Amino acid sequence: MAEKPSRTRPLLVGNWKMNGLRASEAEVSALAKGLDGARADIWLCPPITLLSHFIGAFKGKPLSWGAQDCHAQESGAHTGDVSAEMLADVGAVSVIVGHSERRRDHAETNAMVRSKLSAVQRAGMVAIVCIGETLEERERGDVLPVLEKQLRESLPEEVDGSKTVLAYEPVWAIGTGKVPSGDEIVEVHGFLRERLDACGAAGVPILYGGSLGPSNADWLLRLDNVDGGLIGTASLKASSFLEVIRACQQG
Ligand code: 13P
């Protein structure tokens, strides 16, 4: 299973957020069983309490593992935090940074996201950087300027394409069952692709996230410049995640 981002095969990342107990191992077993012949790379980001155990329990399965956040520093007096080095130490290969829920719940700024990204890459892992506009910003007609600013301020000047994945997650689409139209996604992903190309990061996959699931994976994952998905709710159950994965099989 590829542990480095590539644009030649779809990348589907399951973000479990603050969900999952030890009993959830059964879902991962069912998922792993259904992955034979999958035409996508599958990365799973369970809560930190399960990460190390799952990595051990599913060794050799076609799954790679990630975390949902990390601290920017390597170690030190930061009660409750976890460093990128600690995550790499237990076998994680990626870390989500700048998810809108962390920007909202923990007031994370673009500058903080950028330092976390550096920490993830310093530890040899892939940073999955999330950007996305709120409903208010969309209604003001500010989608592209908002994304441009988040991108410029969250990414370093020189983007390491082998250690970066970008995820476009419109905040209003997360967990709501609403998704932008195909044309809107193509416009945004085309814009992001151009920006990445301009800073020499042509190889960075751009994922779409926000209510991506079995009912829409089929068309969403086929859109231009959509290199895969960042999936919340639908990744919690093996059955729905496998349906999304199968959508990459068709056509
Ligand atoms: P949902 O798939 O539940 O909308 O969540 C998307 C998301 O935030 C993934 O990071």
Q: What's the predicted TM-score (pTM) here?
A: 0.97
User: In this structure, which residue's CA is closest to atom 5 in ligand 1?
Assistant: 232
pLDDT value for 140: 98
pLDDT value for 133: 98
Ligand 1 atom closest to Cα of residue 213: 2
Distances (CA, A) of 152 to 63, 96, 173, 190, 238: 31, 18, 23, 16, 36
**Do 182 and 219 meet the contact criterion of CB atoms below 8 Å apart?**
yes
Q: How far is the CA of 233 from the centre of ligand 1 (A)?
A: 6
Read off the DSSP letter of residue 37: T
Which region, left, alpha or beta, applies to residue 177 given φ > 0 means left and ψ of -120 to 50 means alpha? left
> Which residues in the chain show pLDDT less than 50?
none
pLDDT in tens, 75-129: 999 999 999 999 999 999 999 999 999 999 999 999 999 999 999 999 999 999 9
pLDDT value for 68: 98
Q: What is the mean pLDDT of the chain?
A: 96
Q: Report residues whose beta carbon is within 6 angstroms of any ligand 1 atom.
A: 15, 99, 169, 174-175, 209-212, 230-234
Ligand 1 atom closest to Cα of residue 211: 4
Cβ density class 16-33: b for 16+ within 10 Å, e for less = bbeebeeebbebbeebbe
pLDDT value for 20: 98
Compute the residue count for the chain. 251
Q: What is the largest CA-CA distance in the chain?
A: 52
Strand partners, 228: 11, 207
Q: How far is the CA of 26 from the centre of ligand 1 (A)?
A: 21
Q: How far is the CA of 192 from the centre of ligand 1 (A)?
A: 20
pLDDT value for 3: 74
**Do 11 and 227 meet the contact criterion of CB atoms below 8 Å apart?**
yes
pLDDT value for 118: 98
User: In this structure, which residue's CA is closest to atom 7 in ligand 1?
Assistant: 232
Ligand 1 atom closest to Cα of residue 176: 4
Respond yes or no: is residue 71 known to be catalytic.
Answer: no
Respond yes or no: is residue 78 known to be catalytic.
Answer: no
pLDDT value for 6: 79
